[in-house]
Chains A and B, each alone.
Chain A
Amino acid sequence: MAKTKHYKHSNGAMYLMLSPYLLLLFFFGILPALMGLLEIPKPSMANPNGGWDAFKIVVHDFRFGPALKHVLGFMGIFVPLMIFFVIGMALMLDIKHSAWKKWLRMAYIVPASISGAVAVLVWYVILQPTLSPIKGVLRYFHITESSQIWQQQNLVYILAIMAFFAAAGNWILIQYGSLQSISTEVLEAARVDGASIWQTAIRIKLPLISKYIVYMSVLVFAGGLQIFVEPQLLNGGIYTGIADSWSFDQLSYNLAFMQGDFGGASALSILLLIPSLLGALLVIFKTDMFEGAQGHIKKKDVEIVGI
């Protein structure tokens, strides 16, 4: 009885402390998701009769197919490159007494500081034959004019490189943190059994951080699907028209703000949410990463959760 009273008393204050976050979650998370859904069937110029045909209309838009092709090509490079490079760098950083550690740290900190608009600027300079600090390399590949670089068929590669360098640093830091959480007893036992650095990395460390790798993969996938800033700036700022509606987010932006078709833009947003949500559910229910959400938490399983 006393216990029940205690909880009743406690929970009022607890709800009060939780309320600022709950308000943000409701107004800027749950409500916009519901509003997006309700916006879709409203009549618009593209969908004069209204209804759920908005999905069909947006998928049949002449820009949807090219955007799908671009984004798939971009993801095909960006996602595997991120996963393999981040894990490789984190494993190298985790090797004790590595003479390269200091330089490896700089190698992820510096690019991680250069994201979004700055990344576009930096890569513009790097890839501009007249300005580039790697003129020699460009010349080796017979690239002497910027028009050889800034072509639509090259954008998939250029944007994948830009996004990769901007995103890899944070993830290296996080995966390095996850590797630090592996018990030294386990690593010592492997060393005593004669495991090499390579075998320890592949057979001991990777399986132990596998859930964080799955988690990172889902977030990298979801983030890649939403590429916007880099193609938008290239399109408007550097080579006008080179990347118009290049990605889904640009198409969604153009539908809403250039054509006033909020229903179509919302339909596209919801379509983009589906793979991200499936990924989220995969992480929540198919890995033990978020056991705390299932009602109990194991200390050993929650050493670190990345971003």
Chain B
Amino acid sequence: MPSEVSKFMSINSIWYTAAIVVIATTTAALAGFVISASNIRFKRTFLISTLIMMLVPPVALVIPLFVEMDKVHLVDNPWSVILISSLYPFGAFLAYIYYTTSIPAELYESARLDGCNDFKLFTKIALPLSTPLISLLAFFAFIGNWANYFMPYVMLPSSEHYTLPLGLGFLFLSTPAINPGVGATSVPIYKPEIALAGALIAVPIMIMFLVSQKRLIRGMLAGSIKE
């Protein structure tokens, strides 16, 4: 992949993924906190719809999502991918479980008696105790979106918005190094360059796994650690 192309694709991948991780993690943590610490109406309906969304793969909704994005003129705009991918029902449910099991309701009650309003309840009580949860939410949001091919493929037809996985897919399509059907080309792309492009996508995930696996297992077990 010529260096300038791989550079802008890397930048696209980094900023789309970073935006998704931030939005998805924040919204999911807030939702989990509210459901666990409040007495809002339709809590059960909300939880059931979140659970159903968790189990329904997002690609099943891609056609109506495309139509929806087209109506608001967001097709071929990175925000289409960022906003769609920021819906993180698994994260919301995980946050709900975490807050329900890790922070006793009595703590919220005492904070309220001490004059804490609900925003402070989150920022001063829940958030400082959420480091394992935030790591876990950010990790899974990163893993799920860094290598995502399908949604950018559908929503971002212009090559200037391509991400690294899309770029790699484009290489498959356009170089005789992989696909002899393409015929001769002047593009200086051979198998080593394609392997390097693959490594650009795989290595960050591998590093994330290696760096965070211990913390992840601790985070997942919050609330009921093996004694």
Chain A positions within 8 Å of B, measured between CB atoms, are: 6-7, 10-11, 13-15, 17-18, 20-22, 24-25, 27-33, 35-36, 39, 105, 109-110, 112-118, 120-122, 124-125, 131, 169-170, 173-174, 176-177, 180-185, 218-219, 222-223, 225-226, 228-229, 233, 236-240, 249, 252-253, 256-257, 262, 265-266, 269, 272-273, 276-277, 279-281, 283-284, 290, 292-295, 297, 299-300, 302-305, 307
Contacts and interface: CB of A to CB of B under 8 A. Distances in A.
Given A14-B34, A29-B89, A293-B47, A303 B57 contact: no
B149 interface: yes
B114 interface: no
Nearest to B65: A32
Given A117-B201, A222-B55, 10 more contacts: A11-B40, A11-B41, A24-B86, A39-B64, A236-B173, A256-B63, A293-B44, A293-B51, A299-B223, A304-B220
B61 A20 contact: no
Interface residues of B, number: 94
B191 interface: yes
Nearest to A11: B40
A113 B168 contact: no
B147 to A, nearest CB: 5
Nearest to B96: A292
Contact of A35 (B33, B41, B55, B68): B68
Contacts of B165: 116-118
A191 to B, nearest CB: 14
A-side binding surface: helix, strand, loop or mixed?
Answer: helix
> Across chains A and B, which 7 residue pairs bring their CB atoms closest together, nearest first?
A237-B172, A280-B55, A21-B31, A13-B118, A32-B64, A113-B206, A36-B64
Contact of B226 (A20, A180, A236): A180
A181 B97 CA distance: 14
Interface in B19-35: 23, 26-28, 30-31, 33-35
Contacts of A266: 63-64
Contacts of B131: none
Interface string B190-204: 010011001001110
Contacts of B34: 14-15, 17-18
B8 interface: no
Nearest to B48: A293
B83 A236 contact: no
B96 to A, nearest CB: 7
A18 B40 contact: yes
B172 A236 contact: yes
Contacts of B88: 24
B189 interface: no
A271 B103 CA distance: 41
B93 A305 contact: yes
B14 interface: no
Contact of A117 (B39, B169, B179): B169
A168 B62 CA distance: 25
A226 B53 contact: no
B50 interface: yes
Contacts of B194: 121
A296 to B, nearest CB: 10
Contact of A181 (B52, B56, B224): B224
26 contacts: A14-B34, A14-B37, A20-B26, A21-B92, A28-B61, A29-B53, A35-B68, A39-B64, A109-B210, A113-B206, A116-B165, A170-B143, A173-B213, A222-B55, A257-B154, A266-B64, A269-B61, A269-B64, A276-B56, A277-B56, A284-B48, A293-B48, A295-B44, A297-B101, A299-B224, A307-B90
